[in-house]
Amino acid sequence: MMETFDPAAVNWARAQFALTAMYHWMFVPLTLGLSFLLAFFETFYYKTGDPEWKRITRFWMRLFAVNFAIGIATGLILEFQFGTNWSNYSWMVGDIFGAPLAIEVLFAFFIEATFFAVMFFGWDRVSPRFHLFSTWMVAIGSSLSAVWILVANAWMQRPVGMVFNPDLARFEMQDIAAVITSPVAVSHFLHATSTSFVLSALFVLSVSSWYLLKGRYLRLAVRSVLVASVFGLLFSFLVILSGDQAAHNAARFQPMKLAAMEALYRGEKNAGLVAIGLLNPEKKPGDDRPVFHQAVHFPYLLSLLANRRLDTFVPGIDDLLYGNPAEGIVGVSEKMVLGNEALEQLTRYRQARKEKDEEAAAFHLAAFKKVEDHLGFAYLDGPEEAVPHVPILFYGFHVMVGLGFLFPLIFLLYLILALKNRLPRYRWLLRLGLLLVPLGFLASQLGWVVTEMGRQPWAIHHILPVKVAQSNLAAATVQSTFYIFLVLLTLLFVAEVRIMLSQIRIGPEEK
């Protein structure tokens, strides 16, 4: 009997996962970035012996602790959902995800049980040198533990280094090096960590701006601004470079994602990058309606971004959907035929195995292997299902990129004014600085929205659609747990904001 999908259940499961993942990502970037800023503050203390640097380090360490404590275990909620809402998917990718996630947990436990304890408890108990070493280990270890989850996510965007076992319906790891060194994994790691560093620098600027506006702890605020603005400025360049590489990877491995990010419906040579644009909401793939009401393009830049050459062709949504023989692009309809063939051969393979006809099984397995990369297309109801949500991707991508270019200018301005000792006089900038935390979080969250919404409709790119990955649960069941999480996560968020604000109000004076 054919399985039927309840779109409401799939959407509630997606909403629940998005809610918890976005909530989890409220804490991770601050943990990754603040840990490095702490290491720099403490290094200045170690080098100069100036107690003010120690006071600065201990103050930011307290805010780091609040963020870490509220954020801890929020990632576990995602694992619960894997087992319940996404049990089919969990089973299929268990071998790929199992190793990286187990390494992450062991790594995190090792670091947290040892170096975290020394960092928080060891100020007067261990040598300054060992304390500094521990702070650096927390910073490096936190980023390294993030490698594994990012590797797992990158594999969903570009599945490599695995082989499908048709008897167990599982992807089995064949080449862990290929999984770890996949270009998508490398750019994922660099972009996620560098954006986290920038977000943390914005957090430090924001809190310091508040102190400067209030005329409190001026030395702490100015020194914090100096370190954070240099740190933020340097990593802003890495954000731009790694973001460029991520978009280039999308062009190579997920061209539909890039086309949706740019709302490029008809592919073109010398393609321009949209600087700013207002989409026509009536536009659908394959029609002749205009894409934009208004748009400004940077000429040639999309071709350069996608192919590293100005005069090259960038495929649009229509080319990828309906095919473009002149450019050698196979359309989704043809891929659906290949997907059906893959499913057919897999069905016959299972039948042959049941009948213990090993010769027929070997024949159908070989036929399946030729087209298995297109398996996911068998589940599409029509070619248009292969297009992700264009408005979310377009606006999400452009707001994120705009903020990504704005932040280095703000860091530079703060740095220059702090060096000239004029920062307290620029109250308009300090007031603007209070907005840097929400803007930083907006850019950081939009990065994941673009990454994950751009992957749709696939759970594993071209191999497994999200709707097949989901467990067959009633929509009401998933909906009720969604609201439980909404209440729980809101309470935790309110707790964090309250504790964080009270600690900022208290300032560096320990009570």
Partner 1 sequence: MTLTGIWRFYRDGFRSMTLGKTLWALILIKLIVLFGFLKVFFFPDLLKTRYDNDYDRGAFVLRHILESAPPERNRP
- Measure the CA angle with vertex 398, ends 392 and 400; round to 5°: 95
Query: Residue 162 carries which side chain, given as an amino acid letter?
Result: M
Contact between 290 and partner 1 per CB under 8 A: no
CB closer to partner 1 out of 289 and 498: 498
Q: Which stretch binds partner 1 (CB under 8 A): 298-306, 381-389, 420-428, 436-444?
A: 381-389
Size of the site for partner 1 (CB under 8 A): 59
- Of 46, 107, 120, 322, the one binding partner 1 by CB under 8 A: 120
Q: Which stretch binds partner 1 (CB under 8 A): 77-85, 132-140, 386-394, 429-437?
A: 77-85
For residue 145, give both structure tokens: 């533990």
Q: Tell me which residues in 78-107 interact with partner 1 (CB under 8 A).
A: 80-81, 83-84, 87-88, 90-92
- Of 381, 483, 494, 497, the one binding partner 1 by CB under 8 A: 381
Q: CB of 310: closest distance to partner 1 in angstroms? A: 36
- Of 97, 304, 471, 507, the one binding partner 1 by CB under 8 A: 471
Contact between 159 and partner 1 per CB under 8 A: no
Q: Tell me which residues in 26-65 interact with partner 1 (CB under 8 A).
A: 62, 65
- Of 70, 138, 371, 417, the one binding partner 1 by CB under 8 A: 70
CB closer to partner 1 out of 120 and 363: 120
Asked if 374 and 338 count as a contact pair (C-beta separation under 8 A), the reply is yes
Per-residue binder mask for partner 1 (CB under 8 A), 338-377, x = binder = --x--x--xx--x---------------------------
- CB atoms closer than 10 angstroms to residue 316: 25
- Distance (Å, whole) CA 302 – CA 259: 10
Give the helix ranges, DSSP H, for 254-389. Answer: 255-261, 301-307, 317-322, 332-354, 358-371
According to the 3-state scheme, what is the secondary structure of 121-169?
HCCCCCCHHHHHHHHHHHHHHHHHHHHHHHHHHHHHHCCCCEEEECCCC
- What's the chain's length in residues? 511
Asked if 256 and 389 count as a contact pair (C-beta separation under 8 A), the reply is no
- CB atoms closer than 10 angstroms to residue 433: 25
CB closer to partner 1 out of 416 and 484: 484
- Of 43, 312, 333, 479, the one binding partner 1 by CB under 8 A: 333
**Main-chain dihedrals φ then ψ at residue 254, nearest 5 degrees:** -135, 65
- Of 8, 106, 117, 278, the one binding partner 1 by CB under 8 A: 117
Contact between 115 and partner 1 per CB under 8 A: no
CB closer to partner 1 out of 73 and 177: 73
Q: What is the DSSP code string of 63-109?
A: HHHHHHHHHTTHHHHHHHHHHHTTHHHHHHHHHHHHHHHHHHHHHHH
Contact between 13 and partner 1 per CB under 8 A: no
- CB atoms closer than 10 angstroms to residue 99: 16
Q: Tell me which residues in 168-227 interact with partner 1 (CB under 8 A).
A: 168-170
Contact between 278 and partner 1 per CB under 8 A: no
Residue 261: strand, helix, or coil? helix
- Distance (Å, whole) CA 426 – CA 71: 34
The partner residues of 274 in beta bridges, in order of sequence, read 297
Q: CB of 393: closest distance to partner 1 in angstroms? A: 25
| Positions that interact with partner 1 (CB under 8 A) | 1-3, 5, 62, 65-66, 69-70, 72-73, 76-77, 80-81, 83-84, 87-88, 90-92, 117, 120-122, 125, 166-170, 333, 336-337, 340, 343, 346-347, 350, 378-383, 467-468, 471-472, 481, 484, 488, 492, 495, 499, 503, 510-511
